[in-house]
């Protein structure tokens, strides 16, 4: 009798599991995607104290600090090395070579400095190294005497359609313990280049001389990664540094002195928008905080750059910007609407694969949707599924002192596939011309936890 009852109970249980599975699947397959209810662990949203080892000043007189590199040309055969010497200008020379301690080549850079209120920056060096071989590890040395420092980087493979490459995506990083956690997790990901979607240091949360000081601490904070692999910079609102109360009214002053981009290589007239090609990807960087409407320099440049994209050479077309065009978070709601109205039809026409943005301090991924049918007389007001549209991904969850944007709008709109208010970073692992694997990794108790992931199919191939 008991075994029979047991068997009937098991059948009942099985039916219940199947029924609930079908029910849950139907919810998931219905309109919108997932709003994650994960309870994240986080550090308080305050900046790391100035005397913390994360900001340690390298030893030695006038030792180079805040070392960072970025791509220096269109196709990845050049690198720009940047650093700061605190006490005196010193040398702007980079010695480099393909084996450790044997620097057979050298390049000469430039040095500049700036003031911000009464803060005086250190001596900021930028040095372009050209004519590098693809797919090669280079060691480089900067500074002189006992305080010289050595680092290394790897150049990308030749620009070819089936070249695998792994990008990391980080946004809105700041300099809190949450930022440190994001950076630590990112550095374990094995990604080769960071696509940074704006809002670097959050130094503008400070006043007077502390603004410059917090740009310096951020430079030392990220050096553990930026000295060894290129970070592809795009700007956010925290780079504007417009502070009339202290007489600082030149936008992007700190950023433009400290960070460089290879904008001339893509015929851009501004370091704030440009393009590069790396491995099998064509990456377009846009500025949410520069004019972009019809006839402006950024608009003209983008129209031309999109025509230069050759999907037979670079199958993957990736766009970076700070303000997301599709976000269902209460924070910064609709701020991307003006750029969407101007550029969305181009993103569809040119079959952009994916658009990464930051700004909103949470994670969100869209389905392929567009709203190009809408105009002020058509009355078609709703975004609709569109196979030619890009996937929109917001990765503004680097961990800065402003904290998380925890409130999403309800109900979750149909275009929203997954959203969660946790800190983390993303990776895009390109396998060949047709497939890439995308991951969002949430920072969770010191472990790398891949959370949202999917296979990205190329929009052209």
Residues that bind Fe ion (CB under 5 A): 199, 236-237, 359
Kindly state the smallest distance separating residue 437's Cβ from Fe ion, in Å. 28
Q: Which residue is nearest to Fe ion (CB)?
A: 359
Kindly state the smallest distance separating residue 84's Cβ from Fe ion, in Å. 24
**Cβ-based nearer residue to Fe ion, 237 or 370:** 237
Q: How many CB atoms lie within 10 A of CB 224?
A: 14
Q: φ, ψ for residue 287 (rounded to 5)?
A: -110, 115
**Cβ-based nearer residue to Fe ion, 199 or 429:** 199
**Cβ-based nearer residue to Fe ion, 125 or 322:** 322
How many Cα atoms occupy the beta-carbon half-sphere of 230 within 13 Å?
A: 27
Kindly state the smallest distance separating residue 194's Cβ from Fe ion, in Å. 17
**Cβ-based nearer residue to Fe ion, 33 or 236:** 236
Q: What does the alpha-carbon distance between residue 434 and residue 458 come to, in Å, rounded to a whole number?
A: 5
Structure tokens at 379: 């009355």
- Is 332 catalytic? The answer is yes
Residue 362 · residue 404 · CB < 8 Å: yes
Q: Which of 332, 361, 425, 439 is catalytic?
A: 332
Residue 359 · residue 324 · CB < 8 Å: yes
Q: Please enumerate in sequence order all residues whose Cβ is within 8 A of that of 231, keeping only pairs 6 or more positions apart, or say none.
A: 68, 69, 70, 193, 194, 196, 222, 225
For 47-53, the CB contacts below 8 A with 24+ separation are 47/174, 47/175, 47/176, 47/202, 47/214, 47/401, 48/175, 48/176, 48/177, 48/179, 48/180, 48/217, 48/221, 50/213, 50/217
Kindly state the smallest distance separating residue 405's Cβ from Fe ion, in Å. 10
Look at phi and psi of residue 189 and say left if phi exceeds 0, alpha if psi is from -120 to 50, else beta: alpha
Kindly state the smallest distance separating residue 360's Cβ from Fe ion, in Å. 8
**Cβ-based nearer residue to Fe ion, 243 or 449:** 243
Kindly list the catalytic residues.
332
């Amino acid at each position: 009798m008991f075994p029979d009852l047991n068997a009937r109970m098991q059948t009942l249980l099985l039916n219940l599991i199947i029924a609930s599975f079908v029910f849950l699947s139907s919810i998931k397959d219905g309109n919108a995607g997932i709003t994650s209810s994960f309870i994240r662990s986080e550090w308080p949203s305050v900046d790391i104290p100035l005397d913390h080892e994360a900001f340690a000043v390298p030893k030695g007189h006038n030792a180079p600090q805040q070392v960072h590199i970025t791509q220096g040309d269109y196709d990845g055969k050049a690198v720009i090395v940047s650093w700061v010497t605190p006490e005196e200008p010193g040398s702007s020379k980079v010695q480099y070579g393909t084996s450790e301690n044997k620097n057979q080549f050298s390049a000469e850079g430039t040095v500049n400095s700036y003031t911000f209120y009464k803060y005086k920056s250190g001596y900021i060096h930028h040095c372009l190294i050209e004519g590098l071989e693809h797919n090669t590890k280079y060691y480089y040395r900067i500074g002189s005497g006992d305080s010289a420092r050595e680092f290394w980087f790897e150049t990308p493979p030749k620009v070819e359609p089936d070249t695998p490459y792994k990008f990391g995506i980080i946004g809105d990083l700041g300099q809190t313990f949450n930022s440190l956690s994001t950076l630590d997790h990112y550095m374990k990901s094995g990604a080769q280049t960071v696509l940074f979607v704006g809002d670097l240091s959050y130094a503008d949360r400070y006043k007077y001389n502390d603004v410059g000081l917090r740009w310096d601490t951020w430079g030392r904070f990220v050096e553990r990664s930026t000295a060894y692999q290129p970070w592809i910079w795009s700007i956010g609102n925290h780079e504007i540094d417009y502070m009339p109360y202290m007489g600082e009214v030149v936008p992007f002053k700190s950023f433009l002195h400290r960070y460089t981009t290879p904008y001339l290589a893509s015929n851009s007239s501004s370091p704030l928008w440009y393009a590069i090609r790396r491995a099998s990807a064509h990456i377009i960087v846009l500025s949410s905080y520069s004019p972009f409407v019809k006839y402006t320099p950024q608009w003209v440049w983008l129209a031309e750059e999109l025509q230069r994209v050759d999907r037979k050479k670079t199958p993957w077309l990736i766009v970076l910007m700070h303000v997301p065009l599709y976000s269902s978070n209460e924070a910064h709601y609709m701020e991307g609407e003006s750029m969407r109205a101007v550029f969305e039809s181009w993103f569809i026409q040119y079959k952009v694969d994916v658009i990464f943005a930051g700004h909103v301090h949470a994670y969100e991924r869209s389905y392929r949707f567009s709203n190009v049918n809408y105009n002020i007389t058509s009355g078609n007001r709703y975004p609709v599924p569109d196979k030619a549209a890009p996937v929109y991904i917001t990765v503004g969850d680097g961990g800065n002192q402003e904290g998380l944007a925890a409130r999403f709008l309800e109900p979750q709109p149909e275009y929203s596939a997954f959203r969660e208010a946790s800190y983390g970073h993303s990776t895009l692992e390109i396998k060949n011309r047709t497939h890439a694997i995308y991951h969002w990794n949430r920072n969770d108790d010191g472990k790398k936890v891949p959370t949202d992931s999917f296979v990205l199919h190329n929009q052209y191939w």
